[in-house]
A and B are shown apart, each in its own frame.
Chain A
Amino acid sequence: MIDGLPASRTVGHGYTYAYLDEQTKRMIRRAVLKAVAVPGYQVPFASREMPMPYGWGTGGIQLTASLIGPSDVLKVIDQGADDTTNAVSIRQFFARTAHVQTTTRTAESTLIQTRHRIPEQPLRAGQIIVYQVPIPEPLRWLEPRETESRRLHALQDYGGMYVKLYEDIARYGRIATAYDYPVLVNGRYLMSPSPIPKFDNPKLDRMPALQLFGAGREKRIYAVPPHTRVESLAFDDHPFQVQKWDQTCVLCGAGDSYLDEVITDDAGGRWFVCSDTDHCTRRRDGGADGGDRRP
């Protein structure tokens, strides 16, 4: 049935700056403005098909693409690290399409795209951090229907979430949510902070930098403007707690950073290292030593 295939056609034409066409960027910026105006509210946006798969950061990439400019310095992290494969891929994408300077140094960056972590080094005013979000709806596990959860948000009916947390305490004696821990933004909207460990939740609160969240597949953008109150849900008699390790980083000796566990042999041996590679590198550059016992 196929006839008249053209003998050749140019498909390698040049793309717009930062890949997205200008109309799309404008559409995304409008969604961002609305999101900033209503902190924590999920703004639907006409998410585009990106040249990376859904679920691999397409929401964050669209936000970054619509915000980035030639004077920006971009940092991309995944699991806190600049050198994980998907972070490398996204950084290369913007280096290629936006000709932008990239960095691994948190302090030097103007725009940070992240998956699953907030850098250990506090962000400052003027910086923007873009989170990649798989499931933007914090109520999804209680109510899978969007039609229903949007109504719950409208009515600020978050009782179900408190019941869930209470049931955890009744069953386990503690709240059994370790990451993507729900937060209340500006005293109004319940929000998923994306799957960051709850260790990072306190950093969300009153952060001087602008925090933007992009969910490409689910077609939602939301935001926490600078200095906005972000509370992790808790009870008076069960206050919010973060993870803590008995160990320190074997590379830099940090005892206050989020640690990744590395299995070193088949006899139960394991080390702990900073998940934030920039934090770890800076400490080691400053002479810190974790007593590296690696063979």
Chain B
Amino acid sequence: MYVAVKGGERAIGNAHRLYAEARRGDPAVPELTLEQIGQQLSHAVDRVMTEGGLYDPFLAALAIKQARGDLVEAIFLLRAYRTTLPRFGAARPLETDAMAVSRRISATFKDLPGGQMLGPTADYSHRLLDFALAETGLPPEPVPPVAGVSESSCPRVTGLLAATGLVEAPPPDSDEADTTDLTRTPLALPAGRALRLQALARGDEGFLLALGYSTQRGFGTTHPFAAEIRMGSVEIELEAEELGFPVVIGEIAVTECQMINQFQGTADQPPQFTSGYGLAFGEAERKAMAMALVDRALRWRELSGGDDARTPAAPAEDEEFVLAHADAVEASGFVQHLKLPHYVDFQAELELLRRLRADAGAVGCADGRAAGAEAPESVP
């Protein structure tokens, strides 16, 4: 009925109330607290902070609660808040060498300076549902202190190899002034690596995971090794203008991944390992690894001598394809905009289709008798 499209205002108000009611669920069940979400759903919080581009566990937990656990929606909520915040400066590059590591593994060397440290991981757990968790109960057994964990800094594997020339030297620290902020400048293509990494860091974990996976399966020519994955907290340093020296303004938890790949070399460059880089807030190993794979895949042109004439051989190597579609907030919005009314376009298509079918002499179909089909050929 025509009346069905009316009354939007009241319908929206009621929809919001229904949503709030569904969010709360049975009032007899205690309401979730942000502390509970922050402490006990920390992977969700980390993902929302990473893709939301804002390190704030409290707000991320709030977003998760508000979005009823829909993480893409929570990321959107956090982004929409983040965009209103003033920028008061750019921090100095993170010194992840100086990270207070809680986990550090290398798949390329059995042992290395700083050692291997498994840390809090489910990697070697058997994925059996733990029915004991269904009951609230005693806190888990405390971990006994481990002797011999070095408190000193833990050099990065790629740094150790770079000294020998086997791995490309890390790029020099870029001047903060020439680092474009993706959220304040429209993306121009081709994008530099710094800009690509910004986009990948905010990129959808599922999308990057699939793309990274595709490079391993042969859509792309990368043969990666996880040189190092480390997790822990790092200090954020800011150089305040009037001070002239950096001051620590806080600490954040991050996961860093460096993948190294075989590289055949070019006429100017002997073969060596090249690297892909991934960084995410909190404990987000899957994201950091996927990001590192995609970063390395996107470097193909630079590593093949910058030949602009060649076209990417695989989806993960296609900068425009990857960067244009990696953002979950953009993708989610545009896919779901199909829910909005399209009566006008649809009517235009209907009218066209009826004419085309009339032209083609389609008879005997219901639409043949329908309005518009008999419209005269001479249209103004």
- A interface residues (Cβ-Cβ under 8 A, vs B): 1-2, 5-6, 9, 11, 15, 21, 44-51, 53-56, 58, 78-81, 83-89, 92, 115-117, 134, 145-147, 172-174, 176, 178-180, 195-199, 217, 219, 241-247, 258-262, 264, 268, 270-273, 275, 294
In the complex, whether B352 has a CB less than 8 A from a CB of chain A is yes
Asked if B348 contacts A88 (CB within 8 A), the reply is no
Asked if A242 contacts B380 (CB within 8 A), the reply is yes
Asked if B11 contacts A85 (CB within 8 A), the reply is yes
- Identify the interface centre among B83, B190, B347: most chain A CB within 10 Å of its CB: B347
Interface string of B336-354 (1 = CB under 8 A from A): 1100111111011111100
Asked if B370 contacts A270 (CB within 8 A), the reply is yes
Complex CA gap A89/B59 in Å reads: 25
Asked if A83 contacts B370 (CB within 8 A), the reply is no
Look across to chain A and name the residue whose beta carbon is closest to the beta carbon of B38. A2
B345 contact set on A, CB distance < 8 A: 116, 178-180, 195, 197
In the complex, whether B76 has a CB less than 8 A from a CB of chain A is yes
Complex CA gap A198/B342 in Å reads: 14
Asked if B320 contacts A49 (CB within 8 A), the reply is no
Asked if A5 contacts B35 (CB within 8 A), the reply is yes
Asked if A54 contacts B370 (CB within 8 A), the reply is no
- Decide: A261 near B371, CB < 8 A? Known: A46-B185, A88-B9, A116-B345: yes
Complex CA gap A5/B86 in Å reads: 22
What 4 A-B pairs have minimum CB-CB distances, sorted nearest first? Answer: A54-B333, A55-B337, A53-B333, A178-B348
Interface string of B1-43 (1 = CB under 8 A from A): 1100111110110000000000000000000001100110010
B58 contact set on A, CB distance < 8 A: 5-6, 9
Using a CB-CB cutoff of 8 Å, which residues 318-362 of chain B contact chain A?
A: 320, 324, 329-330, 332-337, 340-345, 347-352, 355-356, 359
Q: How far is the CB of A237 from chain B (nearest CB, A)?
A: 14
Asked if A15 contacts B344 (CB within 8 A), the reply is no
Q: How far is the CB of A67 from chain B (nearest CB, A)?
A: 19
Asked if A146 contacts B342 (CB within 8 A), the reply is no
14 contacts between A and B (CB under 8 A): A53-B337, A56-B333, A81-B5, A92-B9, A147-B190, A147-B320, A179-B344, A195-B342, A196-B344, A217-B334, A241-B380, A258-B347, A260-B344, A271-B2
Interface string of B58-75 (1 = CB under 8 A from A): 110110000000000000
Look across to chain A and name the residue whose beta carbon is closest to the beta carbon of B335. A55
Q: How far is the CB of B158 from chain A (nearest CB, A)?
A: 25
Look across to chain A and name the residue whose beta carbon is closest to the beta carbon of B350. A261
Complex CA gap A53/B336 in Å reads: 9
Asked if B380 contacts A246 (CB within 8 A), the reply is no
Asked if B348 contacts A50 (CB within 8 A), the reply is no
> Apart from A258-B344, A270-B371, A294-B2, what 15 extra A-B contacts exist at CB < 8 Å?
A21-B86, A49-B80, A49-B82, A50-B80, A56-B333, A78-B341, A79-B343, A88-B8, A116-B345, A172-B359, A196-B344, A197-B347, A244-B375, A258-B347, A259-B347
Asked if B371 contacts A246 (CB within 8 A), the reply is yes
The listed residue (A147, A197, A273) touching B344 by CB distance below 8 A is A197
The listed residue (B42, B184, B340, B359) touching A1 by CB distance below 8 A is B42
Asked if B333 contacts A1 (CB within 8 A), the reply is no
The listed residue (A11, A92, A246) touching B375 by CB distance below 8 A is A246
In the complex, whether B45 has a CB less than 8 A from a CB of chain A is yes
Q: How far is the CB of A185 from chain B (nearest CB, A)?
A: 21
Complex CA gap A174/B86 in Å reads: 53
B: contact size bracket = 35 or more
In the complex, whether B115 has a CB less than 8 A from a CB of chain A is no
Asked if A80 contacts B344 (CB within 8 A), the reply is yes
A44 contact set on B, CB distance < 8 A: 186, 188
Asked if A83 contacts B9 (CB within 8 A), the reply is yes
- Identify the interface centre among A9, A45, A247: most chain B CB within 10 Å of its CB: A9
B82 contact set on A, CB distance < 8 A: 49
Look across to chain A and name the residue whose beta carbon is closest to the beta carbon of B6. A83
Using a CB-CB cutoff of 8 Å, which residues 166-190 of chain B contact chain A?
A: 183-190
Asked if A85 contacts B8 (CB within 8 A), the reply is yes
Asked if B341 contacts A241 (CB within 8 A), the reply is no
Asked if A49 contacts B9 (CB within 8 A), the reply is no
Complex CA gap A2/B120 in Å reads: 14
A262 contact set on B, CB distance < 8 A: 1-2
Asked if B186 contacts A45 (CB within 8 A), the reply is yes
Q: How far is the CB of B371 from chain A (nearest CB, A)?
A: 6
In the complex, whether B81 has a CB less than 8 A from a CB of chain A is yes
A247 contact set on B, CB distance < 8 A: 371
The listed residue (A53, A83, A116) touching B332 by CB distance below 8 A is A53
B45 contact set on A, CB distance < 8 A: 2
The listed residue (B57, B190, B334, B379) touching A54 by CB distance below 8 A is B334
- Decide: A83 near B12, CB < 8 A? Known: A134-B334, A172-B356: no
- Identify the interface centre among A51, A85, A273: most chain B CB within 10 Å of its CB: A85
The listed residue (A79, A246, A260, A272) touching B374 by CB distance below 8 A is A246
In the complex, whether B132 has a CB less than 8 A from a CB of chain A is no
Asked if B355 contacts A174 (CB within 8 A), the reply is yes
A178 contact set on B, CB distance < 8 A: 345, 348-349, 351-352
Q: How far is the CB of B343 from chain A (nearest CB, A)?
A: 5
Asked if B320 contacts A53 (CB within 8 A), the reply is no
B162 contact set on A, CB distance < 8 A: none
In the complex, whether B79 has a CB less than 8 A from a CB of chain A is yes
- Decide: A219 near B80, CB < 8 A? Known: A81-B5, A116-B345, A244-B380: no
